[in-house]
Amino acid sequence: MTQEYSLLWPLVAIVVLILANGAFAAAEFAIVTVRESRLLQRLKEGHPRAAAILELKRHPSHFLSTVQVGVTVVGSIASVLGGAYAATQLTWLLERTMPAVLAAWAPTVAFVLMVVVISYLSLVLGELLPKSVALRNPERVAFLTVHLIRTLAALSSPLVRILSLSTDALLKVFRISTRTSEVFITEEDVKHMVQEGARHGIFDEAERQLIHSVFEFTDTSVREVMVPRSEVHALADTTPLNEALHKLVETGFSRMPVYEGDLDHVIGVVHLKDVLRELDKPHPLSLREVAHPALFVPDSMQISDLLRELQARRVHMAIVVNEFGTVVGLVTIEDLLEEIVGEIRDEFDTDEEQPIQEMPDGSLLVHGSLPLDELTERYELPFRSTPDYRTVAGLVLARLKRFPKGGEAIVEGPFKMTVVVLDGRRLRKIRIEGPIRKRVEPAQRT
């Protein structure tokens, strides 16, 4: 009976040591993976352990060395117990239970059994299980094990110091920098985190799109969001105030450019409120005198820079010019904000003014001025903007190489594009037919 108990206590000790190894493995995995932003939040809520975890995360070399010391010591003791004691006792037991002809193999069988058992328990209880738990609950595991790691760090501090100095010395021998590289979070990292958050229900689809739009905002030029010259409503400087008021009310705009001669000579921007104020006076000023100075910006300007410029100057509209000084369009603060929050509709917007209409037969009825990039963001279509054209109308004109008549069409692969509505020299509405599929956002895919 004494021999059986002599076998039992090394086995129990080995299991306890393997469980200790598992605690170190879980602590290492949890503290490394727990988010620092979450720890800062818990620290503000008054959790002192959060400060201890943050301290470990900010000194990863010392922390990892401490964990490694614990793992190595525990593993060494388990190996000694398994080889020197448990295997010896197991050999004694096997010699008394195996047939006499096989008794000579008892030491080998005992050794193999101990290796298999210790290896299995070390992998399952010492590595896989604790790391799986830590991966699923990093914050909770980190809070449960931080005191264990801090205690071990205090006890093993001299040894860890020696190990760190030895490691640094070897790194210098091999001419490897001992400085820890700074970890930078890139735009793609944030987008991936937001996408994963949306997939797990942390963000809804509107929030995900809003965050992505903020990143795209800094990469978008004015020419991509401006109202093109062909759709700009403007007033000649000789227009009487009452006619100017009528046009402002009719179009639903509160501001409109004022030009002298033609649109390439914009002299200012008139406000509806200023026109109303002047009409109330017995001797009103002319439209030219009422107009405010216009802000001119290049079409290559980034819209993030333009937004800051509009805010600094306290204006809501800018006239867009190309490299030759020709007016190519205009842009308002509303146009810029729509790039982030989506379309902003007011009481003057109607359903017919929507740039894309999905028809009952599966086709699309789109504005000719609709940017191709905006169209292909929403639908799986092969159309791409080029330096020669950027809109649906531009694509049609580039293919026909002339101005079309109503009802004329072009064919792009399996897609047919038909000119439905002409407005003078403008392609107002174009119908797109073919195997049109709405683009599925990554967060919606299963």
Rounded distance, CA 58 to CA 176, Å?
Answer: 21
Is the domain of 320 the same as that of 259?
yes
Is the domain of 79 the same as that of 169?
yes
Per-residue model confidence as pLDDT tens digits over 353-395: 678 888 888 888 988 888 888 888 888 888 888 877 888 888 8
Would 182 be classed as within a structural domain? no
Q: What is the pLDDT of residue 445?
A: 45
The rounded radius of gyration (Å) of the Cα atoms in the chain is 37
Answer for the pair 309, 319: CB distance below 8 angstroms, yes or no. Answer: no
- From 341, 370, 386, the end of a domain falls on 341
Assign residue 256 the CATH number of its domain.
Answer: 3.10.580.10
Residue 416's SS3 state is: strand
Is the domain of 168 the same as that of 38?
yes
Per-residue model confidence as pLDDT tens digits over 274-283: 999 988 888 8
Would 377 be classed as within a structural domain? yes
Is the domain of 69 the same as that of 46?
yes
Per-residue model confidence as pLDDT tens digits over 423-433: 766 788 899 99
pLDDT band, very low/low/confident/very high, at 253 (cuts 50, 70, 90): confident
Q: What is the pLDDT of residue 180?
A: 56
Would 346 be classed as within a structural domain? no
- CA separation, residue 7 to residues 89, 126, 366 (Å): 5, 22, 83
| Residue 208 Cα to chain centre, angstroms | 8
**Rounded to a whole number, what is the largest CA-CA distance in the chain?**
128
Would 178 be classed as within a structural domain? no
Q: What is the pLDDT of residue 442?
A: 45
**pLDDT value at 128 more than 50:** yes
Rounded distance, CA 3 to CA 193, Å?
Answer: 58
Q: What is the pLDDT of residue 446?
A: 42
Rounded distance, CA 316 to CA 307, Å?
Answer: 9
Is the domain of 167 the same as that of 230?
no
**pLDDT value at 352 more than 90:** no
Q: Which residues of 165-204 are buried (b: 16+ CB within 10 A; e: fewer)?
A: eeeeeeeeeeeeeeeeeeeeeeeeeebeebbebbeeeebe
What is the arithmetic mean of pLDDT over 154-183?
A: 77
Q: 339: which strand partners?
A: none
Would 306 be classed as within a structural domain? yes
- The mean predicted confidence, pLDDT, of the chain is 82
Is the domain of 11 the same as that of 32?
yes
Is the domain of 283 the same as that of 357?
no
- From 281, 306, 341, the end of a domain falls on 341
Is the domain of 50 the same as that of 89?
yes
Is the domain of 14 the same as that of 156?
yes
- Edge-first strand listing for the sheet containing 356-358: 356-358, 364-367, 426-433, 415-423, 409-412
- From 173, 208, 235, the end of a domain falls on 173
Q: What is the pLDDT of residue 172?
A: 84
Is the domain of 103 the same as that of 34?
yes
**pLDDT value at 443 more than 50:** no
Q: 409: which strand partners?
A: 418
Helix and strand numbers (H, E) in the chain are 19, 12
Domain of residue 109, residue span: 2-173
- CA separation, residue 246 to residues 54, 75, 242, 253 (Å): 65, 88, 6, 11
Is the domain of 328 the same as that of 366?
no
pLDDT band, very low/low/confident/very high, at 234 (cuts 50, 70, 90): very high
Q: What is the pLDDT of residue 343?
A: 63
What is the arithmetic mean of pLDDT over 389-407?
A: 85
Per-residue model confidence as pLDDT tens digits over 266-325: 999 999 999 999 888 888 888 999 999 999 999 889 988 999 999 999 999 999 998 888
Would 281 be classed as within a structural domain? yes
Query: Who has greater pLDDT, 424 or 256?
Result: 256
Is the domain of 208 the same as that of 144?
no
**pLDDT value at 105 more than 80:** no
Provide the domain count of the chain.
4
Q: What is the pLDDT of residue 95?
A: 67
Q: What is the pLDDT of residue 439?
A: 76
Q: What is the pLDDT of residue 221?
A: 85
Per-residue model confidence as pLDDT tens digits over 10-40: 778 888 888 999 999 999 989 988 888 888 8
Assign residue 420 the CATH number of its domain.
Answer: 3.30.465.10
Would 179 be classed as within a structural domain? no
User: Can you give the pTM of this predicted structure?
Assistant: 0.51
Burial class (CB in 10 A: 0-12, 13-18, 19+), 67: buried
**pLDDT value at 342 more than 70:** no
Percent of the chain residues topping a pLDDT of 70: 86
Per-residue model confidence as pLDDT tens digits over 132-145: 999 899 999 999 99
Would 108 be classed as within a structural domain? yes
